[in-house]
Chain A
Amino acid sequence: MVAGMHLTALGDGAVLLEPSEGLDPTDPDAYVVPLLEYLQQSGATRLIYDLADAVVVDAVYYGWLKSLYNACRVTGVTFISANIRPEAAYALATTLEETPPFPCARDVEGARRRS
């Protein structure tokens, strides 16, 4: 168990991460190590981050996603975001200065299928 998120093994090495209300995106260090430990112990090769409940994905939240992506990358886990809401995508796209380095899928199923 990792505080601030709900993790579900989906099979085929995929793990679904659903952030809970207690998650504090301003403090990535509090989550990254325990999360990577969980992923390594469960033999995960893919982390699907579910953004369905994220009403706003601002610069801070984006920073958290990026640090998670970077941590996954160096440990050989593919990070994919999924289910972003149109309004959150719009707000994020208009504030971003770069193209997100991680792949984004329409939904969890799409993220699982994505090669």
Chain B
Amino acid sequence: MKAELLAKPANTILIEQLNANMGRISAIIEEQGTALFGAQGILTADDIHEYSIEFLELLVLVLHAGEQLGRRGPEFEALQKFFANSARQIQVRGGTLEQFVRYVQALQRVLIEELEESDEYTFEQSREVLLLLARLFNDLVLSVFQAYLREKEQTIQVQQEELRKTSTPITEIWDGVLTLPIIGSLDSSRTMMVMENLLTRIEKERARVVVMDVTGVMAIDSQVSHYLIQMVRAIGLMGAEAILTGIRPEIARALTSLNIDLGAVTTRGTLSDGLKEAFHRLGVEVRQREGGR
């Protein structure tokens, strides 16, 4: 009997514990869930009950998968998914990730306390079970955090994309004249996006002149000026003409100190002057109507 007990692996011990005390463990888990989520109305009693049952069922499946817990196996993936979905659901309902992590810690604590109450296992066996639980729950918490960070990153990326699109609006202000106000800073990814959009618009609108206004560019370095020159060059290759406007004095100074030669680029002080130049090139004359105000 003693030899049989000594040979018993940690996962088998836990399965035995769970099978023998399933009702009590489930009730304690529900209590913990209610304390964390019930009072604030984040989860209903039914939700908490279902969470508890599903968690225990999935945990038993993982434990049955073997001593190594098959942490890349389908059982563990199912448990990870359950935790990731639960964390998302709780956050959608107004809970926090911290509350969810506390819930996961509570689940682990319940299982450890159950083990403490039993005196039929040796110190080594108890230690093995504790190590197994620590490994299992650490992995689960880590996967919850990874899923949370992934979602956050995706949200940030979507927001950045939106911001980029809206911060560089290309407008056809007149037949054959496009305006491109550049606000903020230019980096390689933004330049790429702006250039792609701009060149496609030049082709689509059959634009002849592009007025690029940099009034909203706060700082310029050699890389940014290089991007601007690339844009001007690409516009020229498309058979359109580029007019650069709104170069503020400090930007002009930076450009000269960087030895950036804008000699081949038509520049005008303001967007208004740039538009006048564009109209001039198209042979369009804008005049005040007689008697107009």
List chain A positions with a Cβ less than 8 A from chain B.
81-82, 84-87, 89-90, 92-94, 96, 99-100, 104-107, 110-111
Contacts and interface: CB of A to CB of B under 8 A. Distances in A.
B238 A89 contact: yes
B203 interface: yes
Nearest to B176: A106
Contacts of A84: 237-239
Nearest to A83: B239
Interface in B204-241: 206, 208, 230-231, 233-234, 236-240
Interface string B234-278: 101111100000000000000000000000100000000000000
B199 A90 contact: yes
Contact of B264 (A85, A99, A105): A99
B171 interface: no
B236 A86 contact: no
A89 B264 contact: no
A105 B237 contact: no
Q: Is the interface of A mostly helix, strand, loop or mixed?
A: mixed
B230 A86 contact: no
Given A94-B234, A104-B238, 7 more contacts: A86-B200, A94-B195, A96-B230, A99-B264, A106-B208, A106-B240, A111-B239
Given A100-B236, A106-B208, A107-B239, A86 B203 contact: yes
10 closest A-B pairs (Cβ-Cβ)? A106-B239, A93-B234, A86-B199, A89-B237, A93-B233, A105-B239, A93-B230, A89-B234, A104-B239, A86-B200
B237 A92 contact: yes
Q: Which of A85, A94, A96, A100 has the most CB of B within 10 A?
A: A94
Interface of B: 195-196, 199-200, 202-203, 206, 208, 230-231, 233-234, 236-240, 264
Nearest to B199: A86
A34 to B, nearest CB: 27
Nearest to A107: B239
Contacts of B202: 86, 106
B238 A86 contact: yes
A85 B230 CA distance: 16
Contact of B236 (A90, A94, A99, A107): A99
Nearest to A110: B239
A87 B196 CA distance: 7
Contacts of B196: 86-87, 90
B237 A104 contact: yes
Contacts of B233: 93, 96, 99-100
Contacts of A81: 237
Contacts of A93: 195, 230-231, 233-234, 237
A94 B231 CA distance: 8
A96 B233 CA distance: 9
A98 B196 CA distance: 20
Contacts of A90: 195-196, 199, 234
A114 to B, nearest CB: 9
B50 to A, nearest CB: 53
Contacts of B264: 99
Nearest to A105: B239
A89 B199 contact: yes
Contacts of A94: 195, 230, 234
Contacts of A100: 233, 236-237
Contacts of A107: 206, 239
A30 B73 CA distance: 64
28 contacts: A81-B237, A84-B237, A84-B238, A86-B202, A87-B196, A87-B199, A89-B199, A89-B234, A90-B195, A90-B196, A92-B234, A93-B195, A93-B231, A93-B237, A94-B195, A94-B230, A94-B234, A96-B233, A100-B233, A100-B237, A104-B237, A104-B238, A104-B239, A106-B206, A106-B208, A106-B240, A107-B206, A111-B239
